Amino acid sequence: MFSVEPYAPLDTAKQIAPDVWIFDGPVIGFQYCGVKLPFPTRMTVIRLANGKLFIHSPIRLTDALKTEVDALGEVAYLIAPNTIHYAGVSDWQKAYPNATAYCAPGVIKRAKSVGISISFDAELADTPEAEWAGEIEQVLVRGSYLNEAVFFHKTSKTLILTDLIENFEVAKIHNPIWRFMVKLFGTMDPHGSTPRDMRLTFAGHRDAMRKAVETMIGWNPDYVVLAHGRCYDTNCVAELKRAFSWVLK
C-alpha cells in the first residue's frame, strides 16, 4: 500500500469542543479500480445531554479505544453515515448489543453487493431522529452511488462530514504516485473538496445537493470534522463555499 501517515496518537480521545471528540484510527486500504488506496480513518463522538454517546463512522474497535470511549459515557447510537463507511459497525454492535445502529439509505444493499453481512435498526433521513432531535441537526445528501447523512451539533456548532470533502495533507503522503493521485482527485490540503470522481454520483442530484450545502453553510459551523485529512477549525463557512464551489455555481 502507498505510504501514508495516520493521525497519531490513535484510539485516543481528542476533544474539539464541549461534549465532542474525534478519534483517529489506522490507515486502511480502500478498493478502487483493483487497487487498494490508503485512507486515514476518523470517527466522531458526541455526548448528548442525557449522557448517551452518538458514535459517527465507528473505526475499528480495539481494547484501548473501547476504554477511552467508555470513559465518556454510554454508547447508545452507532452511525454508518454513508454507503462507504459502514464496515466498522459490526464489531461495535457485538461490543455494545444495546446500542441502536443507524445507516444512510443504500448501505445494506451496498454491503450485500460486496459480501458483507450487516444489519441496522433504522435508516437515516433528512430529519433528526427523536433520540437526538434538538441537539443534532442532519441533512441527507443523495446521489446515484453515494448517499451521505451530514450532522451538525448545535451547541458546539460542529459540522460532521464523511466523504463529501476530503483534505489530505501532503506531508503525510510519502509516496509520489499517491500524492499525484490525490492532487488529481482534487483532495489535497489546502484545496480539499469532493473527490472529482465522486462528483459524478451527484450529477442528477445537483439541485438537491446545492440545497443541502446551503443548509450546511446556513448552520455557520465553527468546526468541520472530516473523516479523511485535516479538519477545519477556522473560516469554516469560507472553506465550505470553496470546497463546494463546483456545486454552488
- Nearest partner of 103 among 152, 44, 147, 52, judged by Cα: 147
State pLDDT tens for residues 118-144.
Answer: 999 999 999 999 999 999 999 999 999
CATH number for the domain including 100? 3.60.15.10
Which of the 8 DSSP states describes residue 15? E
4 inside domain: no
Count: domains in the chain: 1
1 inside domain: no
What's the angle, vertex CA 233, arms to CA 246 and CA 8, rounded to 5?
105
186 inside domain: yes
Q: Is the dihedral of CA 23, 25, 27, 32 positive or negative?
A: negative
- pLDDT of 201: 94
| Pairing between β-strand 52-56 and β-strand 20-32 as defined by DSSP bridges | unpaired
- pLDDT of 32: 64
112 inside domain: yes
- pLDDT of 112: 87
Residue 111: CB partners within 8 Å, gap ≥ 6? 86, 87, 117, 118
145 inside domain: yes
Domain with 146, as residue range(s), is 14-248
224 inside domain: yes
Rounded average pLDDT per 10-residue block, the chain, 249 residues: 87 99 93 75 99 98 98 99 94 98 95 89 97 98 96 99 98 93 96 96 96 99 98 99 97
- pLDDT of 117: 86
Which of the 8 DSSP states describes residue 168? B
Element (H, E) at 139: strand 136-141
Element (H, E) at 180: helix 176-185
Phi (first) and psi of residue 174, to 5 degrees: -100, -5
